[in-house]
């Protein structure tokens, strides 16, 4: 008998295209319906393989707690490691939503107990849309292939203007510095990106600095929406209500 992952692949490829489209639509509708009224949010990315004693998990909890106390909703992939740590920080702040967006996998991916809202998706690309679509900043902790995929997806969408400019933070200089150096030297030297594209990335291990810059991004974002004539949108109104309850103005 074929292994479970092979059976799942065969089953999926044998489904009609029409049914696949319906399943994809169902994933999107579920995400849009559940997340449309979130308000200002921040997404955390990072490895599911770190345990709670890992310094990056501890820092993710601290940062998410600071942001949660400010009222930001925290979004993660809903699993263990960095994701659970960030959800824990938001959950314990008890001021906003702690959201886990899980993926149905035959191994590794399980939910965590620190979410106030938990969704599961069949498709990675749908889940990635939901992780990116509703946040004004992404904090990317050390992680594996999935984390790298999410980092470069966010950079590509921001670089090409497919999403409103957001803040992309790399947390963990000792982990990211070689990749960052490759981006700002080799990629720029070969003209595969512009020098200005490097500025899309903010590398910092200062939790307070990141929290402050996220506040600044929210203010810039509301000003951009206003300048674009989007003052009547639900998101703009939510953001302004968020700001009116803070000391930023």
Summarize the confidence of residues 164-175 as an average pLDDT. 93
Residue ranges of alpha helices (H) inside the chain are 4-14, 17-35, 55-70, 82-93, 124-133, 145-159, 173-182, 188-189, 207-227, 234-244
Each residue's pLDDT tens digit, 202-228: 999 999 999 999 999 998 888 888 888
List the chain domain ranges.
37-244
C-alpha closest to that of 55 among 114, 137, 141: 141
Beta bridge mates, 101? 119
CATH architecture of 37-244: 3-Layer(aba) Sandwich (3.40)
Each residue's pLDDT tens digit, 51-64: 999 999 999 999 99
Contact between residue 65 and residue 93 where contact means Cβ atoms under 8 Å apart: yes
Q: Using 50, 70 and 90 to split pLDDT, how confident is the model at 45?
A: very high
């Amino acid at each position: 008998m074929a292994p479970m992952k092979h059976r799942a692949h065969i089953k999926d490829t044998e489904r009609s295209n029409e049914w696949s489209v319906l399943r994809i639509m169902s994933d999107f509708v579920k995400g849009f319906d559940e997340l449309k009224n979130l308000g200002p949010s921040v997404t955390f990315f990072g490895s599911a393989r770190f345990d709670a004693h890992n310094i990056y998990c501890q820092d993710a909890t601290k940062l998410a707690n600071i942001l949660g106390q400010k009222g930001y909703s925290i979004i993660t992939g809903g699993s263990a490691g960095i994701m659970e740590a960030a959800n824990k920080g938001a959950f314990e702040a008890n001021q906003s939503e702690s959201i886990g967006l899980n993926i149905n996998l035959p191994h590794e991916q399980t939910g965590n107990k620190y979410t106030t809202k938990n969704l599961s998706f069949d498709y990675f690309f749908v889940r990635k849309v939901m992780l990116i679509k509703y946040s004004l900043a992404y904090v990317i902790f050390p992680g594996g292939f999935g984390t790298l995929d999410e980092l470069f997806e966010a950079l590509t969408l921001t670089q090409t203007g497919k999403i409103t400019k957001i803040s992309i933070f790399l947390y963990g200089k000792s982990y990211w510095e070689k990749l960052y150096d490759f981006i700002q030297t080799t990629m720029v030297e070969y003209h595969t990106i512009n020098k200005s594209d490097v500025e899309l990335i903010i590398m910092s291990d200062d939790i307070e600095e990141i929290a402050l810059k996220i506040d600044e991004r929210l203010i810039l974002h509301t000003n951009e929406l206003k300048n674009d004539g989007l003052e009547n949108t639900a998101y703009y109104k939510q953001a302004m209500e968020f700001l009116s309850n803070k000391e930023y103005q």
